[in-house]
Structure 1
Amino acid sequence: MLTGSTQLKLTEMEMLHMQDVRTWFLVLELASFVWVIPQDVYPGRRTSVIILLLTLGFVTITLLRFDTVWNYIHHVLFRNQLWILPIDSYLIEHFFDTFFPAVVSGFGIWILLWLKTLLPISGNSRM
C-alpha cells in the first residue's frame, strides 16, 4: 500500500459484481486483440457500413434511453442480481467519474476503426 493512498470501501456484493465485470472485460480485451491484430483482413465495405451504423445507432439509443439500455445489458450479461446495488453504494457514487470516460473513449476508438475500413488510405500521402 502506498503512503497516503486510500483503500476502496466496497461491500462484498460490490466486490463480487466487480469480479463478474472483470470476466467480461477480459472477454472484451481478448476480442479486441483478435480484432486489431489482423488489420488487413477487415470485412468488405458493405459490412463495415452496417456495423458502423449499428454502432452509431446503439450509441444514440444509449444517449436517449440510458437507464433502459443499462438495465438490459446487465440482464443479458449477468445471471445473478449482484449488479442491483443500493443507490448509496460506494461503487455507484464513484463509478461515473471513471467508467463513462473510458466507455466513451472505447466507442470512439471502435467507430474510428470502422471508419478506417471505409476510407481509402493512399500509400503516397504526405504528412
Structure 2
Amino acid sequence: MQPLASAYGLAKHRDGRWEWAIAPGVSPSPRYQHAAVFVNARLHVSGGALGGGRMVEDSSSVAVLDTAAGVWCDTKSVVTSPRTGKYSADAAGGDAAVELTRRCRHAAAAVGDLIFIYGGLRGGEI
C-alpha cells in the first residue's frame, strides 16, 4: 500500500458539465491515517503516517487547502499555539501546536473557528 498526496475537486461549468480539478501549489506529503476537517472553506489535514509506518514530519504535520481559491496554503500563517491543555511549548520540546498534530489514527472535529484533535498514536503513545 502506498500513501497518496493528491487532492481533487469537481468544477461545474456554466453549461452543466463537471470536470476534475487538481489543487495547485505544494501539496502535503503523502500520508494515511490522518484526519481532515473543514473550517469555512479551508480543509485542514492533520497528522498521519508515511509509508513504512513512520509519522509525518513536524514541519508538514498540518496542511491546509483553501477550497474557495483552490490552492494549498502556507501553514506558517495558519498554525497557532494551543490555548490551554497538557502541552506547552516547553513540555512538547518545541512548537506545541505542531507537536500536538503530529499523530496518526486520531479524530478531529471543527466547531466554529476551532479545531479539536482527540486520541490517536504518537511515538508509541496512545
Q: TM-score, normalised by structure 2?
A: 0.22
Report 1 or 2 for greater relative contact order, CA contacts < 8 Å, sequence distance ≥ 6. Answer: 1
Q: TM-score, normalised by structure 1?
A: 0.22
Larger Rg: 1
